[in-house]
Amino acid sequence: MSLENQARLKEVIILLNKDTISLVQDADQIKDLLELIDQDIPSALKAPLESAAHLDDHFAMVRRATKNISSRAALQKDRSLKKLEIKDLHSHIQTTRNSLATLEPELRSMEDEKIRLEAQLAELNAKIQSHRAHIANLPKNIEATSLKIASTIKEDQQIKNKLSSIQSSEDEDQKVLDNVSRIRTEAIEAINHLLNQ
């Protein structure tokens, strides 16, 4: 094989070493090079080179296969992300259930405490109302009591005056009573004496 044809075969090797998409797109260049050395190609090399020259026939399938491989990788990545998301969501559900198990008793306890405090508040409000009513009545009670004191002082003064006028005649009154008692006694004795004769 001539040096020129050997150089052309080396160019074909360079083209064959490109990535699959470029190789399929550059199939025409391979075909052109092989046509230039067609007479000088050994028979054992003809079949593989002929197939390489017609790689452009596979262009649509290669594009689809490349796209599928790329899509498969992207879809597998998406699927892995979805699995992680599902795992995270399951974990979130479990955390939420745990929170529910903790929060429900706490809520019941707080509601019970609220009921107890509301009852205390109602009792305190009733006491406040009672105290307000009592306080509101105190000035009236004080006024009524003050009037009662004034009236009682007046009555006491009247009693004192009466007592004062009566006390001045105490000795004379006693003499009157003693005299009546003496007269009664003398009359009883006289009657008894007469009856006993």
- Per-residue pLDDT tens over the stretch 31-55: 777 777 766 667 767 777 777 766 6
CA separation for the pair 2, 36 (Å, rounded): 12
Torsion of CA 57, 61, 63, 65, to 10 degrees: -150
Whether the per-residue pLDDT at 161 is higher than 90: the answer is no
Interatomic CA distance for residues 42 and 65, integer angstroms: 33
The whole-angstrom separation of Cα 85 and Cα 77 is: 12
Cα(165)–Cα(159) distance, integer angstroms: 10
pLDDT recorded at residue 11: 81
Tally: H helices and E strands in the chain: 6, 0
Cα(174)–Cα(183) distance, integer angstroms = 14
Question: From residue 96, how far is each of 84, 90, 149, 154 by CA, in Å?
Answer: 18, 10, 75, 84
Highest mean pLDDT among 44-48, 64-68, 76-80, 107-111: 107-111
Q: What are phi and psi of 68, to 5 degrees?
A: -60, -45
Per the CB < 8 A criterion, the answer to whether 30 and 12 are in contact is: yes
* Mean pLDDT in residue range 151-170: 85
Give the closest residue to 41 by CA, choosing from 81, 8, 77, 78: 8
Residue 5 banded pLDDT, cuts 50, 70, 90: confident
